[in-house]
Every structure is written in C-alpha cells, then in structure tokens.
Structure 1
C-alpha cells in the first residue's frame, strides 16, 4: 500500500510537470478550453481588437465635434465675405422754427439718403481665406485622432488580453498545485515517502500567493476593461454601459495580427537617419494640421496689412421741396458723394498689429518644430524599446524556455529518485510559470510597441470636405 501511494505521488508530480510544459507550447488551446467551460460566457462572443477599434472610432464624439466646427468655420467664411448693410437715412432738413411750416422756406427739404461702406483693401476676401485655411486643419486633426484612437484602444485591449491570459495560466497551474497539495497532505498523514511538514506549508504558501496574483490581475483586468468601455460607449443611450459589463472584459484569446512597418521605414530607423525620418514625419496628420495653422497665420499677416489702406464709402440722397405760396414749383435736390479715411494718426497702432501677426505666425512655425522634435524623440524611444523586446523574445525562445523546462524536469527527476528536495520541485514549477508569463508579457508589449510605431508613420489622406 505504501509503494502504491509513493508511485501515485510520483505519477502526479510527473503529470503536473508534463501538463505545465504542454500548456507552454499550446497556450491558446488551453485558454480556449478553459473559457469554453465557463457557462456565464456561453452566449457572449469575445471582443476582437478589430471590433474594439472600429466601435471606438464610430462612437468617438470628438470626431463629430471636429466636423461641426469645420462646417461652422466654412459657414463663417462665407458670411464674412459680404459687404455690410447699407445705411438708409430719412429726415426733415431746414424746417423754419418760427412757424414749422414745410413750404414756408425754399431751403426746407424732406430728405432720404443711403450710404454704403466698403472694407479696407481686400480684407473680406483675405478673412474668408483665413477661415477656410483654419477649417481645413480639421480633416487632418480627425485623421490624427483616429490614429491615436487606434493606439489607445489597442493598448487597453491588449492590457485586458494580458490580464485574461495570465489569469488563465495561473488558474490552470493552481488546479495542479491544489491536487498536488492534497496528495502531499495524504502522503504526510500516512508517513509515505519523505514528505515533510515544510513541504505542505510551501505548497499552501504558493497557492495563497497564486490567489493573491489572481486578485491583482483581476483588478488590472477590470480597470483596463472599464477604460476600454469608455471608448466603446456611444455617449447617447449608454447601451454599452447598461449591458453586461463582463462582455467587454473578455477579449479574444488569440493574439491579433498587426501590420509591421514598411522595410524602408525599418531601414531608416536602424540607420538612425534623423533627417530622413523627420521628412517622413512631416507627412504626419498632426504636423500637416500645424502647417494649416501656419498658412492661416501668414494670411493673418496679410489681413493686418490691410489696415494701412483707406476705408471707402459712397453716399447718395434725394431731397424733396414743396411749392411756394404762389404755387410755383421748386426743384428737388439730388446729392452724391464719396468718403474715405486717412490712416495717418494710427500709424503706430497699425504697425503693432502687423508686428503681432508676424510674431504669431512665427510662433506657430515653432509649434511645428516642437511637434516634429517630439514625434522624432518618441519614435526613436519606441523603436529602441521594440528592438529590446525582440532581443528578449529571441533569448526566451532560444534559451530560457528550454532551460526552464530542463530545470523543472531535472528537479522532478531528482525528487522522485530521492535525490532532491520537494521545495526545489515547487520552485522550478513556479519559475516555469513565471517564464511563461514573461513570454506572454513580451508578446503583448511587442504588439503595443508595434501599434505605437504604426502611429508615427500614419500618412495624411486628402479629403474633399
């Protein structure tokens, strides 16, 4: 009976090691099988990365606001390109005060006039051009917003994926450790083998630590899922927030396929060719939007220079006179004239307006330089992180995974041959679990870095609106 229990214990230890190693090679299948057994999610499809990005873009109110502001600017540009309303005047002129009789004096007139003012130079046309240039930045800003949304939503989705997959790994290993703890307890109670009390304590400690890790991961998963839900909600009827919240905390169990950089871009990054990279980044929607502001700033300078020109106006009036006391007709009077101002006394003020417009235009050019510097710095940092992750991935695939499995097998073999300590077996299995988690973390971080790299090489698309 003792030999049977010893053999049963060794078989369980060997089986647990084999299952753990098999999980490392067939992670996606084990996670899918583990999730399919959860009845709570039977009627819910997991959320894919493509679906999350599409829903987030479709429900982004920022894009709607940008379209409205663009249309408002275009309407305003059409409104400003119009002359001011003419001014009509009607009055009674030269009425005698000794009798207030209209036909008493020949100078008494019933006068009606109209006056039209004209803007300085081409200020209306220039102002319309400026507003249209500002409006044209919105399509570019929307393209940049969409690119940023892809990065943000992909990052949150991958965080949910990371936590979900690590939870599945730990739950699978926890079940094995639970069985192992039960057998160890029975063996210790029956005085079978060389099981010690500290072995039981060690297994229970590892189970408790796994539970703690599970709680931490579930908290991280819920936090990332809540942030992801913010992007998926349409903000009107709140149908997503009133639905089953767990649906958006369970994502697809397969790693998504994310397009990589073009070979030319990778070559420039590898060569650290900052000049060529800056030229590529100049086509980024965020940079082109600043260029639209630069164009509008230069137009503002041209608009300010119109203040040096005179403002013209025309006026015309018609005066009716009554017949005299003898019935003789008096001729009506017609007047026409022009008016203009002489911008002489305001020379200093006009110079300051032009100077301010020039400085503001130069400041916007500085914004473009800062944006390019920021994008280039972030690109180089992300590329460096991506390269380091690739190197780590190669090290894990070529060395660490093989070595950790050999360590687990060696510790198990030594223990079953009465030549090793049980704590070494537990430690080796924990190390194996940690390595598989590290591999998963590297995979997720690589995808996040790839998404960020794709953002920097987003190219603006010309639109007609």
Structure 2
C-alpha cells in the first residue's frame, strides 16, 4: 500500500470518527455522584447537631434560675455554744428566687430558637454548593475521559502513517522523504505526551472527586452524561428591567440570603433583649428561724421572714444605653452583610450567564461552520498532496488541527454543562420555592 493510498484512508476515517463510551459496572453517574456526596457530607450532620444544641439551649434559657437554699445558725453564744442559752439564737432555713429582668427570659428563648432556624438554610446552601462542586469535578473527569478517547481513536492512524511513510521511503516509492518520516514519528510522540498529560489530569480530578464520594476505586459512567436542566428558564429568557426584577426576586430566595434574613430577625430580638436591661431585676426570699426553749422550760416562738430585692438601673449612660447601642449596631452590620451577599450573588450570576451565552455562540459556530471547514481543509490538503501539489507536513498539520477542533468542540459542550451547574447554584432559590409550593 502506497503512502498516497493510505492518506486517502486517513481522510475518510477521520471524517467518520465516532466515540462510543463504554459504561463500567462499577461506574457512577453525575446524578449518583451528587446524591452520594450530599448523603455522606459530614458538614450536614454537624449543622443538624448545632441546630439541636441551640434548640436545647433555648428551652434551658426559658426556665427560671434555680432557687437558692440557705442553712445557718445565727447568734450562737461563743462562751458556751449553748443553743438554748440566748433567745436570739436560731437555726435558719432560707429560700430565695431571682427573676430575670422584664421579659428577658422569653426573649432569650426566642433568640436562641431563631438562631437555630439559621441552620436549615445553611444546609440548603451547602447542598447547592456540593452539587455544583461535585458536578464540576465529574464533568472535568468526563471531559478528560472523552478527550483521551478522541486522541486514542486517531492514534493508530498516526502509527500506520509512520509505518507507511517508512515503507514508502525505504522503497523509494511515491513522494515520501526522510523529513516526512521524521514528522510522522514526531506527531505520534507528541500524541503520546499529550495522552500522558491528560491521564495525569484525569487521575488528579478523579482523586478530588473521590474525596467527596469516599470511593477508593472510582470510575465515572460516560454513558450517563446528560444535559443539566436550568432551575429557572424564566430568568434566562427575560430582558431589561423585567429581568432585573425577576433575578433579584429569585436571588432573595437563595438559602444564603434567607439565612442572613434569619440572622437579622435574631438580631432584632437581641435589640429587644438589650432593652430589658432598663428594667429592674427582682428577687424573693423567705426564711424560717427555729429557736429552742429557754433554760427555765419556757417555749420560745420561731421566726418567719420574707423579703423582696430589686436593683434600680439609674445610671444607664455607660451600661444599658451602650448595650442597646451595641445590639442595634450588630443588627445594622448584618443588614450590610445581606446587601453585600445579594450583590455578590447577582454579580456571580450575571458573569456566569454572560459566559453561558458566549459558549452557546461558540457551540453554534463549531456545529454550523468550524468543524465542517476544518474537515474540508484536511480533505483539501490531502487531495493536493495526492495530486503532487501539496506538502506532507501540511497534511499532518491539517489532521492535527481537525482533531484539535473536535476536542475544542467537546470542551465547549462540557463547559456549557459546567456553566449551567454553576448558574443553578445562584438560582437554587427558584428550585426550593417551587418545591415548597408543590
């Protein structure tokens, strides 16, 4: 077989290249990876325990402090230590109970209960973050696997190209020259190096994915790749002021912002709690004093005492006023945090959506023109060479460029899916609100 004949075979084969991924029995799909990562995420369990702790503390904060019991012997004469000698000598049993200021007990319970309500929103945000992170890693591994398959699909053609060019050069047939043989071997070596680098990157991404899934021998299921659906097509399709309003409405339902809203409610309760410091703290006390009979046998009456204690917040300038001022400042600081979080989410979504639209443009360009034109260029260079009007190096360059174009098209398709996964994190509020309305 001559070199020219083999190059014609290359042309027809490369134009019909089809990659058929093979699913492994132990492989994991994208949906399975996301579900497993969220199922075994220890952060979620820690959040549940933190919520449980706050709920228990709220019950504890709503109870009265424990009463104090006082046992004492009063006015015992030190000359004889005779309990019956003096009429003032008593054995006293006292009980006292303090009452928190104003409504502070109920407000402390309410504040801790509201703090516990932050955790469910934080868990929702964590689940959305994990879904995005795991999706990115899974798609990275998928992209590298498919890229390796594309290159390996064409590698044997370059192996045959080296054999044919060597045979043609040795027999001095055709147009083959020594530099053609060197160029063919060089491209094959470069493909091997490229495959090695891709496998290295694939292994790194696989280990990163394994960290989330806690699976030692992990393989992905390329056949399970699918188009990720966007949480809110309405926002994507809207324009102008309507888009801004829809986007802000959806972002306000983001669990991160809802968690901050809950923190604001907690801080508002903290302000009310701080204002209770202007009210006095009350305490009740009661005691019973037992006296022994007199030495002559005359009975002595026992004593009962009761009292009320309270403090008077008169000098509030550097205590109560500052406490309320601090609570109000905390609330305003959290409002600032909410504004910054909304701004960050909106900027993140706008940036991601802009990237998504440009990727769609690139995908359309690859599908409608670029891949076809690259194939035509490769075919044209082959035709020119077979007609003794072209250069062997140009044929090789054209085939490598066609391979790179197919890899670039694959990158664009996967980048679109990765961008949708990232957009879904910002639009998770639309999914959650839709699930709550069902």
Provide the TM-score with structure 2 as the length reference: 0.95
Alignment of 1:123-134 (within 5 A): 123-134=104-115
The question of whether the paired residues in 2 share the 8 Å contact of 1:76 and 1:131 is answered with yes
Aligned counterpart for 2:126 among listed residues 145, 165, 168? 145
1:410 and 2:380 aligned: yes
**Cα deviation, residue 122, structure 1:** 1.2
Post-superposition CA distance 1:242-265 (Å, at most 9, x none): xx3xx33x4324532211243321
Cα separation, 2, equivalents of 1:95 and 1:254: 90
The question of whether the paired residues in 2 share the 8 Å contact of 1:269 and 1:383 is answered with no
Post-superposition CA distance 1:419-457 (Å, at most 9, x none): 211111111110110000000000010000011111111
Cα separation, 2, equivalents of 1:119 and 1:19: 86
Distance 1:302 1:63, change over 3 A: same
The question of whether the paired residues in 2 share the 8 Å contact of 1:268 and 1:277 is answered with no
**Cα deviation, residue 97, structure 1:** 2.8
| Counterpart in the other structure of 2:288 | 318
1:293 partner SS: helix
1:401 and 2:382 aligned: no
The question of whether the paired residues in 1 share the 8 Å contact of 2:232 and 2:427 is answered with no
| Counterpart in the other structure of 2:85 | 104
The question of whether the paired residues in 1 share the 8 Å contact of 2:235 and 2:243 is answered with no
Cα separation, 1, equivalents of 2:314 and 2:133: 56
| Counterpart in the other structure of 2:49 | 68
1:357 and 2:327 aligned: yes
The question of whether the paired residues in 1 share the 8 Å contact of 2:4 and 2:174 is answered with no
Aligned counterpart for 1:51 among listed residues 20, 32, 44? 32
1:273 partner SS: helix
1:391 and 2:361 aligned: yes
1:203 and 2:184 aligned: yes
Aligned counterpart for 1:372 among listed residues 318, 342, 349? 342
**Cα deviation, residue 296, structure 1:** 0.7
1:115 and 2:85 aligned: no
Distance 1:209 1:271, change over 3 A: farther
**Cα deviation, residue 346, structure 1:** 4.8
**Cα deviation, residue 109, structure 1:** 1.2
Aligned counterpart for 2:392 among listed residues 422, 431, 448? 422
Q: Larger deviation: 104-113 or 68-77?
A: 104-113
1:10 and 2:4 aligned: yes
Structure 1: which 5+ residue stretches go unaligned? 234-239
**Cα deviation, residue 279, structure 1:** 2.1
| Counterpart in the other structure of 2:264 | 294
Distance 1:424 1:222, change over 3 A: same
1:264 and 2:234 aligned: yes
| Counterpart in the other structure of 2:211 | 230
Cα separation, 2, equivalents of 1:272 and 1:203: 58
1:213 and 2:183 aligned: no
Cα separation, 2, equivalents of 1:318 and 1:289: 53
| Counterpart in the other structure of 1:450 | 420
Cα separation, 2, equivalents of 1:165 and 1:13: 25
The question of whether the paired residues in 1 share the 8 Å contact of 2:180 and 2:392 is answered with yes
Alignment of 1:28-43 (within 5 A): 29=20, 31-32=21-22
Cα separation, 2, equivalents of 1:270 and 1:55: 40
Aligned counterpart for 2:13 among listed residues 5, 9, 19? 19
Distance 1:264 1:58, change over 3 A: same
- Superposed CA RMSD in Å reads 1.7
2:80 partner SS: coil
2:63 partner SS: coil
Cα separation, 2, equivalents of 1:111 and 1:271: 78
2:93 partner SS: strand
**Cα deviation, residue 282, structure 1:** 0.3
Cα separation, 2, equivalents of 1:295 and 1:325: 68
Aligned counterpart for 1:273 among listed residues 212, 230, 243? 243
| Residue-pair matches, total | 433
**Cα deviation, residue 152, structure 1:** 0.3
Provide the TM-score with structure 1 as the length reference: 0.90
Cα separation, 1, equivalents of 2:224 and 2:159: 28
